Structure 1
Amino acid sequence: MGSSLKKVLIIDDDTRNIYALRMVLKVKGYECLTAMDAQAGLQILSEQPDVGVVLMDMMMPEMDGYEALSIIRSDEQLSGIPVIAVTAQAMVGDREKCLAAGASEYVSKPIDQEVLLDLLKNKFNM
């Protein structure tokens, strides 16, 4: 198993969310890269094409997750990377909206760690 399979990029403008996710993922052996905004996240992706999955907060200032998703999906180098959309307000239609925007999967905050780990392991083989 290559190390690239275990690399997760967390894009979230809230340091507490990043911290909590990193703790959970690190314990399970994932390498975490983090970005505080979508622009920085896209930069990391372009420099580290071996990221296995992206956890993307959908509600961020400047560029939101939807805009970042459309950039990822239209970039031939990045379009195959799975993106798990993360939203704080789980409203009716959020999941559909995220998936329609190009997300591979969807989780709402507060993130259920078991659900997330299950997704990473079983859906994305990480």
Structure 2
Amino acid sequence: MALPVNNNHLYKVLIIDDEPLNILALCAVLKSRGYLTVTANSAKEGIAKISNDNTIKLVLMDMMMPDIDGYEATNLIKNNVRTRDLPIIAVTAQAMAHDKEKCLAAGANDYISKPIDIDILMKLINKHLQ
């Protein structure tokens, strides 16, 4: 019996987070499921990577970062004609109802709170990469 083909390798996910352990954990999860990952330690670095790499298919955006936070970075990405259709999933430790609304108002396509439930994260990723 043939194994199912894993086409996730066709998808490159950018993880933008200022916490190295969060990046490490997310990379491990995504790589174990066949995704390519690219990382950025700041919003500025993430925006630069998006500008220089048109193969990025989805962004996991930490919302609480120094300098440019995820809200401003999401807004900048969504207001750029070239990148406005790039799906962004807001990833934040802030889990109140108004926090989700704030992320979506900034332009995020979806929202997940920390600690991350991997099953929910994978459902969100798959939903936006369909």
TM-score bin, normalised by smaller chain: over 0.9
Q: CA deviation at 1:2?
A: 8.8
In structure 1, the partner of 2:116 is 111
Q: CA deviation at 1:109?
A: 0.6
Q: CA deviation at 1:16?
A: 0.4
User: Which consecutive residues of structure 2, in runs of 5 or more, have no partner in the other structure?
Assistant: 1-6
* Percent identity for Structure 1 against Structure 2: 50
Aligned residues: 124
Pair 1:68-2:73 in alignment: yes
TM-score (norm 1): 0.93
Over aligned residue pairs, what C-alpha RMSD do you find?
Answer: 1.4
Q: CA deviation at 1:6?
A: 1.1
Aligned runs of 1:77-92 on 2, under 5 Å?
77-92=82-97
CA distance in 1, matches of 2:65, 2:72: 10
TM-score (norm 2): 0.90
CA distance in 2, matches of 1:86, 1:75: 21
Amino acid at match of 1:36: N
CA distance in 1, matches of 2:94, 2:123: 22
Aligned runs of 1:1-126 on 2, under 5 Å?
5-125=10-130
CA distance in 2, matches of 1:121, 1:75: 24
3-state SS of paired residue (1:8): strand
- Indicate the structure (1 or 2) with the bigger Cα radius of gyration: 2
